[in-house]
Amino acid sequence: MPWWYHIGMAMNVRLPEDLDARLEAIARARHTSKHAVLIEAAERFVSSESKTSRVLDLVDEIGERYADTIKRLEDA
């Protein structure tokens, strides 16, 4: 197999026509490819989801750590 075959992950993406048209317009305005726009969008999404997960984990940890204090405040 060629060396480039092992770089990155290839996949086909079927987009609704309206989304594809909007993606094409963004790519054209940025003078780049739809592929590059999709990579950027995927990176932003993964980063956002990761942050959301960390925040929710911290909220759970704080809730457990201060459960007694929270309960006393509810009863006050």
- Number of domain units in the chain: 1
Tell me phi and psi for residue 69, to 5 degrees. Answer: -65, -45
Which tens digits make up the pLDDT trace of 11-40? 888 999 999 999 999 999 999 999 999 999
Residue 34 domain boundaries? 3-75
pTM: 0.61
Chain length of the chain: 76
Report yes or no: 70 and 59 within 8 Å, Cβ to Cβ.
no
Give the chain's mean pLDDT: 87
